[in-house]
Amino acid sequence: MTERATAPLQLPERSRRRWPAVGATAAIGIFTVLTCLPAIGGVDVDFSALVRNWSNGATKVNQLLHPNFAFLPRTVSPMLETLAMAVAGAAFAAIVSIPLTLWAARPSNPNPVTRQLVRFIININRAVPDLVYATVLVAMLGVGTLPGFVTLFLFDLGVVVKLVSEAIDSSDHPYLESGQAAGGTQAQINKVTLLPQSWTLFANQWLYSLELNVRISAILGIVGAGGIGRLLDERRGFYMYGDVSVIILEILVVIVLIEACSTALRRRLR
């Protein structure tokens, strides 16, 4: 029992093809350094400027560090507006995302033409920055929560359809074959097996899009798309950094609360 084999272990030859990984790492490293050379259009990393101009920002930082809590009551109604936009945008996007995702994923849509078409449309949708949507929609629909809601809807739709369809693409679907063997149409297979199998993928992204919405809607207000962002932009315009500080803190609290809720929900979704 205690006696070990004395012969040395014969290890098989290890592959020596490690240079691709080394090369890729080196290339990324060199590229990163090059991006910091202004002479060739890189970012001008100038830390001395930060030190020289520190006093310009210091008063603002100082104000930000002294939040004006007396302003809090005025933020309640815009924050509720923001939440309404965020929830409505995420909810409508969730409903519309179901058929679009099934069209965009290979296991649920073997037809390459319609699949690529839906993916193309979603890619266009994602290529447009949310601020551009908001600006155009504010011009079309007027200042308020409606353009904000539509912006968030479009943004969420892109996120959910892209991420969920890719997740469906990369997971295993053994039941597809049994559904085909039973003579089912793709629609039947999707409805009875693929969709129930994919609910957790959907639910995760729906909750994530809700979280994103609260963050984004703080920015959307800057172009007039309603909610807390509009108030934030107004107070910033008046240089009332104490009020801005309260709003930022409030957004932080709301985001943390929503994240806590969605984390709890996700844990129950397994």
Partner 1 sequence: MTEQSPPAQSSESSAPWSISLADVSVTYPNGTRALRNVSVDIGAGEIVSVVGLSGSGKSTLIRTINGLVTATSGTVTVGGHDVTSLRGRRLRELRGHIGMIFQGFNLADRVNVLNNVLVGRFAHTPTYRTLLGLTTAADKDLALQALDSVGMLEKVWTRASSLSGGQKQRVAIARALAQEPSIMLADEPVASLDPPTAHAVMGDLARINADRGLTVLINIHMMDLARQYANRMIGLRDGEVVYDGPAGTATDADFAQIYGRPVQTDDHSGSQR
- 191 contacts partner 1 (rule: CB under 8 A): yes
Burial class (CB in 10 A: 0-12, 13-18, 19+), 89: buried
Q: Which is nearer to partner 1, 82 or 109 (CB)?
A: 109
Beta carbon of residue 15, minimum distance to partner 1 (angstroms, whole number): 24
Q: Which is nearer to partner 1, 13 or 172 (CB)?
A: 172
| Rounded distance between C-alpha atoms, residue 106 and residue 104, angstroms | 7
Radius of gyration in angstroms for the set of CA atoms belonging to the chain, rounded to a whole number: 26
Binder to partner 1 among 181, 238, 267, 268 (CB under 8 A)? 181
Beta carbon of residue 201, minimum distance to partner 1 (angstroms, whole number): 11
| Rounded distance between C-alpha atoms, residue 214 and residue 79, angstroms | 9
Binder to partner 1 among 177, 252, 263, 264 (CB under 8 A)? 177
DSSP track, 51-78: HHTHHHHHHHHHHHTS--GGGHHHHHHH
- 171 contacts partner 1 (rule: CB under 8 A): no
Helix axis angle, 145-170 to 130-141, nearest 10°? 140
From residue 238 to residue 267, the character string flagging contacts with partner 1 as x (rule: CB under 8 A) and all else as - is ------------------------------
Residue ranges binding partner 1 (CB under 8 A):
174-175, 177-185, 187-189, 191-194, 196-197, 199-200
